[in-house]
Amino acid sequence: MTAREELIADAFVQLADTLVAEFDVLDFLHVLVERAVELLDADAGGIMLADQRGGLEVMAASSHEVHLVELFELQNEEGPCLEAFRSGLAVTRPDPAAMRVSWPAFTERLEEAGFASAQAVPMRLRDEVVGALNVFRVTPGALSDSDMKLARALADIATISLLQERSMRARDRLAEQLQGALNSRVLIEQAKGVLAERGGLEVGQAFRALRDHARRSGTPLAEVASAVVHGRLRLGR
Protein backbone atom coordinates (compact mmCIF):
# COMPACT_ATOMS: atom_id res chain seq x y z
CA MET A 1 0.00 0.00 0.00
CA THR A 2 1.11 3.53 -0.64
CA ALA A 3 1.18 5.98 2.25
CA ARG A 4 -2.05 7.50 0.97
CA GLU A 5 -3.79 4.15 0.69
CA GLU A 6 -2.73 3.42 4.22
CA LEU A 7 -4.21 6.71 5.41
CA ILE A 8 -7.48 5.90 3.69
CA ALA A 9 -7.57 2.42 5.17
CA ASP A 10 -6.83 3.84 8.63
CA ALA A 11 -9.62 6.34 8.28
CA PHE A 12 -12.16 3.70 7.31
CA VAL A 13 -11.08 1.43 10.15
CA GLN A 14 -11.40 4.30 12.61
CA LEU A 15 -14.80 5.29 11.27
CA ALA A 16 -16.06 1.71 11.32
CA ASP A 17 -14.86 1.33 14.92
CA THR A 18 -16.81 4.40 15.93
CA LEU A 19 -19.92 3.07 14.23
CA VAL A 20 -20.06 -0.14 16.21
CA ALA A 21 -18.90 1.01 19.64
CA GLU A 22 -20.81 3.43 21.90
CA PHE A 23 -22.15 5.53 19.10
CA ASP A 24 -22.55 9.28 19.14
CA VAL A 25 -23.71 10.59 15.79
CA LEU A 26 -22.48 14.17 16.28
CA ASP A 27 -19.03 13.13 17.40
CA PHE A 28 -18.92 10.70 14.49
CA LEU A 29 -19.75 13.37 11.92
CA HIS A 30 -17.02 15.60 13.32
CA VAL A 31 -14.45 12.80 13.05
CA LEU A 32 -15.62 12.11 9.53
CA VAL A 33 -15.23 15.73 8.48
CA GLU A 34 -11.74 15.92 9.96
CA ARG A 35 -10.67 12.76 8.11
CA ALA A 36 -12.29 13.95 4.88
CA VAL A 37 -10.34 17.19 5.02
CA GLU A 38 -7.12 15.28 5.59
CA LEU A 39 -7.69 12.61 2.93
CA LEU A 40 -8.90 14.99 0.24
CA ASP A 41 -6.02 17.36 0.85
CA ALA A 42 -8.53 20.05 1.69
CA ASP A 43 -8.19 22.91 4.15
CA ALA A 44 -11.62 22.94 5.71
CA GLY A 45 -14.87 21.01 5.44
CA GLY A 46 -18.27 20.40 6.86
CA ILE A 47 -21.50 18.44 6.70
CA MET A 48 -24.86 20.08 6.14
CA LEU A 49 -28.14 18.25 6.70
CA ALA A 50 -31.61 18.99 5.40
CA ASP A 51 -33.65 20.33 8.28
CA GLN A 52 -37.18 19.64 6.98
CA ARG A 53 -37.76 23.36 7.01
CA GLY A 54 -36.61 23.37 3.44
CA GLY A 55 -33.16 24.55 4.55
CA LEU A 56 -29.74 23.08 5.29
CA GLU A 57 -28.04 23.19 8.67
CA VAL A 58 -24.37 22.79 9.55
CA MET A 59 -24.00 19.61 11.58
CA ALA A 60 -20.23 19.34 11.75
CA ALA A 61 -17.35 21.52 10.65
CA SER A 62 -13.59 21.03 10.69
CA SER A 63 -13.18 24.30 12.56
CA HIS A 64 -15.52 26.35 14.69
CA GLU A 65 -14.31 29.69 13.50
CA VAL A 66 -17.29 31.98 12.88
CA HIS A 67 -16.34 32.80 9.29
CA LEU A 68 -16.15 29.14 8.34
CA VAL A 69 -19.53 28.36 9.86
CA GLU A 70 -20.96 31.32 7.94
CA LEU A 71 -19.66 29.88 4.70
CA PHE A 72 -21.91 26.91 5.32
CA GLU A 73 -24.90 28.89 6.53
CA LEU A 74 -24.67 31.12 3.48
CA GLN A 75 -25.31 28.06 1.35
CA ASN A 76 -28.97 28.19 2.19
CA GLU A 77 -28.96 30.79 -0.58
CA GLU A 78 -26.36 29.48 -3.02
CA GLY A 79 -23.25 27.35 -3.17
CA PRO A 80 -22.00 23.84 -3.89
CA CYS A 81 -23.77 22.28 -0.87
CA LEU A 82 -27.17 23.58 -1.91
CA GLU A 83 -26.52 22.51 -5.49
CA ALA A 84 -25.46 19.00 -4.43
CA PHE A 85 -28.50 18.80 -2.17
CA ARG A 86 -30.92 19.89 -4.89
CA SER A 87 -29.42 17.95 -7.78
CA GLY A 88 -28.30 14.85 -5.91
CA LEU A 89 -25.04 15.06 -7.86
CA ALA A 90 -21.41 15.79 -6.95
CA VAL A 91 -20.65 19.47 -7.51
CA THR A 92 -17.35 21.01 -8.55
CA ARG A 93 -16.13 23.84 -10.77
CA PRO A 94 -12.90 23.91 -12.79
CA ASP A 95 -11.76 27.38 -11.65
CA PRO A 96 -12.71 30.47 -9.60
CA ALA A 97 -14.20 32.20 -12.65
CA ALA A 98 -16.70 29.37 -13.11
CA MET A 99 -17.44 29.45 -9.38
CA ARG A 100 -18.20 33.15 -9.53
CA VAL A 101 -20.66 32.58 -12.37
CA SER A 102 -22.57 29.93 -10.40
CA TRP A 103 -22.35 31.35 -6.88
CA PRO A 104 -21.30 35.03 -6.94
CA ALA A 105 -21.98 35.95 -3.28
CA PHE A 106 -20.75 32.63 -1.89
CA THR A 107 -17.51 32.75 -3.93
CA GLU A 108 -16.78 36.27 -2.74
CA ARG A 109 -17.09 35.24 0.91
CA LEU A 110 -15.13 32.05 0.25
CA GLU A 111 -12.25 34.08 -1.17
CA GLU A 112 -12.42 36.56 1.70
CA ALA A 113 -11.99 33.59 4.02
CA GLY A 114 -8.83 32.61 2.12
CA PHE A 115 -10.14 29.67 0.07
CA ALA A 116 -9.98 29.29 -3.71
CA SER A 117 -12.13 26.22 -4.39
CA ALA A 118 -15.13 24.38 -2.97
CA GLN A 119 -16.64 20.98 -3.70
CA ALA A 120 -19.70 19.17 -2.43
CA VAL A 121 -21.05 15.64 -2.67
CA PRO A 122 -24.63 14.70 -1.78
CA MET A 123 -25.56 12.40 1.09
CA ARG A 124 -28.13 10.09 -0.41
CA LEU A 125 -30.51 7.70 1.23
CA ARG A 126 -32.14 5.65 -1.52
CA ASP A 127 -34.14 8.20 -3.51
CA GLU A 128 -33.81 10.98 -0.97
CA VAL A 129 -30.97 13.48 -0.52
CA VAL A 130 -30.53 14.18 3.20
CA GLY A 131 -27.54 16.53 3.10
CA ALA A 132 -24.10 17.14 1.64
CA LEU A 133 -20.41 16.91 2.48
CA ASN A 134 -18.50 20.05 1.58
CA VAL A 135 -14.76 20.71 1.37
CA PHE A 136 -12.86 23.96 0.82
CA ARG A 137 -9.28 24.30 -0.42
CA VAL A 138 -6.86 27.20 -0.61
CA THR A 139 -5.72 25.99 -4.03
CA PRO A 140 -8.02 26.53 -7.03
CA GLY A 141 -9.37 23.81 -9.29
CA ALA A 142 -11.52 20.70 -9.17
CA LEU A 143 -10.88 17.56 -7.17
CA SER A 144 -9.35 14.66 -9.11
CA ASP A 145 -11.70 11.85 -10.12
CA SER A 146 -10.26 9.53 -7.51
CA ASP A 147 -10.64 12.16 -4.79
CA MET A 148 -14.22 12.75 -5.87
CA LYS A 149 -14.89 9.01 -5.54
CA LEU A 150 -13.37 9.03 -2.10
CA ALA A 151 -15.51 12.02 -1.15
CA ARG A 152 -18.60 10.12 -2.26
CA ALA A 153 -17.60 7.12 -0.16
CA LEU A 154 -17.16 9.35 2.88
CA ALA A 155 -20.55 10.99 2.27
CA ASP A 156 -22.15 7.53 2.08
CA ILE A 157 -20.65 6.63 5.43
CA ALA A 158 -22.02 9.84 6.90
CA THR A 159 -25.49 8.86 5.66
CA ILE A 160 -25.20 5.36 7.08
CA SER A 161 -24.19 6.80 10.44
CA LEU A 162 -27.47 8.70 10.64
CA LEU A 163 -29.35 5.45 10.39
CA GLN A 164 -27.11 3.61 12.77
CA GLU A 165 -27.80 5.35 16.04
CA ARG A 166 -31.14 3.66 16.31
CA SER A 167 -32.51 0.94 14.11
CA MET A 168 -34.53 2.88 11.63
CA ARG A 169 -37.90 1.55 10.67
CA ALA A 170 -38.75 4.01 7.99
CA ARG A 171 -38.61 7.58 6.90
CA ASP A 172 -40.51 8.60 10.01
CA ARG A 173 -37.51 7.51 12.01
CA LEU A 174 -35.27 9.63 9.83
CA ALA A 175 -37.44 12.67 10.55
CA GLU A 176 -37.23 11.97 14.29
CA GLN A 177 -33.50 11.39 14.10
CA LEU A 178 -32.72 14.48 12.07
CA GLN A 179 -34.73 16.82 14.26
CA GLY A 180 -33.18 15.32 17.37
CA ALA A 181 -29.67 15.73 15.97
CA LEU A 182 -30.41 19.30 14.92
CA ASN A 183 -31.53 20.18 18.42
CA SER A 184 -28.43 18.55 19.88
CA ARG A 185 -26.39 20.72 17.56
CA VAL A 186 -27.96 23.88 19.01
CA LEU A 187 -27.35 22.53 22.52
CA ILE A 188 -23.66 22.03 21.71
CA GLU A 189 -23.39 25.61 20.43
CA GLN A 190 -24.85 26.86 23.71
CA ALA A 191 -22.40 24.71 25.69
CA LYS A 192 -19.50 26.01 23.60
CA GLY A 193 -20.55 29.55 24.53
CA VAL A 194 -20.87 28.74 28.23
CA LEU A 195 -17.45 27.06 28.29
CA ALA A 196 -15.81 29.78 26.21
CA GLU A 197 -17.05 32.44 28.59
CA ARG A 198 -16.22 30.57 31.80
CA GLY A 199 -12.77 29.48 30.70
CA GLY A 200 -11.75 32.38 28.47
CA LEU A 201 -11.53 29.91 25.56
CA GLU A 202 -12.14 30.26 21.86
CA VAL A 203 -15.25 28.39 20.71
CA GLY A 204 -13.11 25.83 18.91
CA GLN A 205 -11.18 25.06 22.10
CA ALA A 206 -14.47 24.85 23.95
CA PHE A 207 -15.70 22.25 21.49
CA ARG A 208 -12.55 20.16 21.93
CA ALA A 209 -12.95 20.32 25.71
CA LEU A 210 -16.53 19.05 25.36
CA ARG A 211 -15.53 16.28 23.01
CA ASP A 212 -12.54 15.19 25.07
CA HIS A 213 -14.72 14.91 28.13
CA ALA A 214 -17.42 13.01 26.20
CA ARG A 215 -14.88 10.50 24.95
CA ARG A 216 -13.06 10.06 28.25
CA SER A 217 -16.28 9.51 30.14
CA GLY A 218 -18.04 7.55 27.38
CA THR A 219 -20.95 10.00 27.50
CA PRO A 220 -22.74 11.27 24.39
CA LEU A 221 -21.64 14.75 23.36
CA ALA A 222 -25.17 16.13 23.73
CA GLU A 223 -25.41 14.88 27.31
CA VAL A 224 -22.10 16.50 28.24
CA ALA A 225 -23.28 19.71 26.59
CA SER A 226 -26.54 19.63 28.54
CA ALA A 227 -24.70 19.14 31.85
CA VAL A 228 -22.44 22.10 31.03
CA VAL A 229 -25.30 24.43 30.10
CA HIS A 230 -27.27 23.46 33.20
CA GLY A 231 -24.23 24.07 35.38
CA ARG A 232 -23.97 20.46 36.52
CA LEU A 233 -20.55 20.01 34.97
CA ARG A 234 -17.53 22.29 34.95
CA LEU A 235 -14.74 21.58 32.50
CA GLY A 236 -11.25 22.90 32.20
CA ARG A 237 -10.08 25.85 34.17
Partner 1 sequence: MAGILAALVAAGPSASWPDHLVEACRRATGVTGVGLALVDHTGVSGVVAATPGVGRELEDLQFSLGEGPCTEASRSGRPVMCPDLADDGGTRWPAFARGAGRAGVSAAFTFPLQVGAIALGVLDLYRTETGPLRGPYLTEAVAHADAAVAVLLHLQGRDDEAGATGLADLADRRAVVHQAAGMVAVQLDVDVADALRALRAHAWAHDRAIGDVAGDVVARRLRFHDSGNGTAGGAGVRHPGPGPGGEPA
Part in contact with partner 1 (CB under 8 A); list of ranges 25-33, 107-115, 165-173, 209-217: 165-173
Distance from C-alpha of 34 to C-alpha of 213, rounded to nearest angstrom: 18
Please list the residues that pair with 140 across neighbouring strands. none
> What is the β-pairing status of strands 56-61 and 117-125?
unpaired
Strand partners, 122: 132
- Residue pair 61/94 in contact (Cβ under 8 Å)? The answer is no
Which one among 195, 214, 221, 224 touches partner 1, defined by CB under 8 A? Answer: 195
Scanning residues 62 to 101, which ones bind partner 1 (CB under 8 A)?
Answer: 66, 69-70, 73
Q: Which stretch binds partner 1 (CB under 8 A): 33-41, 121-129, 134-142, 187-195?
A: 187-195
d(CA 178, CA 163): 10
- Selection from 40, 11, 13, 14 nearest residue 215 by Cα: 14
Q: Is 149 among the residues that bind partner 1 (CB under 8 A)? A: no
Q: What CA–CA distance (Å, rounded) separates 11 from 13?
A: 5
Asked if 128 interacts with partner 1 (CB under 8 A), we say no
Smallest distance, Å, CB 55 to partner 1?
8
The residue range among 107-115, 134-142, 195-203, 213-221 that interacts with partner 1, by the rule CB under 8 A, is 195-203
**Distance from C-alpha of 74 to C-alpha of 56, rounded to nearest angstrom:** 10
Tell me the closest approach of the beta carbon of residue 52 to partner 1, in angstroms. Answer: 5
Taking the complex as a whole, the smallest distance from the CB of residue 211 to partner 1 amounts, in Å, to 16
Verify binding: residue 200, partner 1, rule CB under 8 A. Answer: yes
Q: Nearest distance from residue 54's CB to partner 1, in Å?
A: 6
- Give CA angle at 96 (92, 97), nearest 5°: 110
User: Residues 39, 7: contact at Cβ < 8 Å?
Assistant: yes
Could you give the string, one character per residue 215-234, with x where binding to partner 1 holds by CB under 8 A and - elsewhere?
Answer: -------x--xx--xx----
DSSP code at position 89? S
- Would you tell me which residues interact with partner 1 (CB under 8 A)? 51-54, 57-58, 66, 69-70, 73, 170-173, 175-177, 179-180, 182-198, 200, 203, 222, 225-226, 229-230
